[in-house]
Amino acid sequence: MSDIKVLVVDDSAIVRKIFAEELSRERDIQVIGTAPDPYVARDKIVRLKPDVVTLDIEMPRMDGITFLKKLMRYYPLPVVIVSSLTPKGGKLALEAIESGAVEVLSKPGSAYSVGDMRQQLADKIRGASRARISRRDNDALIKDSPVEVPTSALKETTNKVVAIGASTGGTEALKKVLTRFPLTIPGVLVVQHMPPNFTTAFAERLNNMCAIEVKEAQDGDSVLPGRALIAPGNYHMLLRRSGARYYVSVKTGPMVCHQRPSADVLFDSSAEYAGANAVGVILTGMGSDGARGLLKMRDAGARTIGQDEASCVVYGMPREAAKIGAVEKETPLDHIAHEIVNAL
């Protein structure tokens, strides 16, 4: 297997130097160049032809979002955003993902501590290198209509739960699914692999787009029809039940499958507390998080759905789930909202 060729774009000379040194320690990654701004990056991309670009957002001469949009239109390739861990940084990172970036990673407060994120960055780069990237017209905005539901289809849904796990490419996949949910949809729980603050901005943006309420989960939040709860970055989210009431527990704990939040943790708790009253969904993403938990859900009687390979940005998590028999039905992204409603 040939090395993954990486171009590092960041206005900080210290960050560029440390990223280049740390990533060069990975056997399958080769840093072929660095750039202090998008203008230099543009020339090096054409000349060096990297497999993946790491991109800072706030840079001189041209900001990273503007550069990314131009890149996705004229020279599409996988981009990993490395952004500051601030509310503003989270919102900009989401805009970057909507503009075509496939992964996002939070940058530490000190430039000298960026070496600590070597493993995370290397994993993001590996995932990005496998992503399906297509040319996009960023001026085009496609809106999905909510799924039409027969009047009687969801009368008895207050005791049901929808649990969804996603990673690489998941923010756009989730947007497509959640914007199509009707107000009558049972409570929805979502694990998307993202750092803190990014999930806050993600939930706010989805809330403005969806018919249903979308919010970042807080410990003790009720799971209600017409509401989706997003697991906060760096915290696990578990389904719990008290009598007829579902609620979530949001807590720290060891990483599972190198992730926190973890889809496996959510799916395990959904199997335990909702059983056959749950629908489990696994979307695009690198790795195996969610596969084992989704199998537990299916064994407990839940309906389970996996995104198909053709519509995934990275066919990793759904593939691993399908391999062990956790996926009852595999379907294209465009049909997943319908399949969830049908399963309910």
Q: Which residues are catalytic?
A: 167, 193, 289
DSSP 51-119: SEEEE-SS-SSS-HHHHHHHHHHHS---EEEEEESSHHHHHHHHHHHHTT--EEEEEPSSGGGGGGGHH
Strand boundaries in 209-338, DSSP class E: 213-216, 227-230, 236-242, 245-251, 278-282, 303-307, 329-331
Distance of CA 219 to the CA centre of its chain: 21
Six token digits for residue 265: 């943790």
| SS3 per-residue string spanning 149-184 | CCCCCCCCCCCCEEEEEECCCHHHHHHHHHCCCCCC
* Listed residue (287, 266, 283) closest to 163, CA to CA: 266
* Listed residue (181, 105, 85, 125) closest to 190, CA to CA: 181
CA pair distance 269, 145, nearest whole angstrom: 31
Q: CA dihedral in degrees (166, 168, 172, 173; nearest 10)?
A: -40
Six token digits for residue 71: 């890149």
Burial class of residue 204 (count of CB atoms within 10 Å of its CB; 0-12, 13-18, 19+): middle
Cβ–Cβ < 8 Å for 180, 228: no
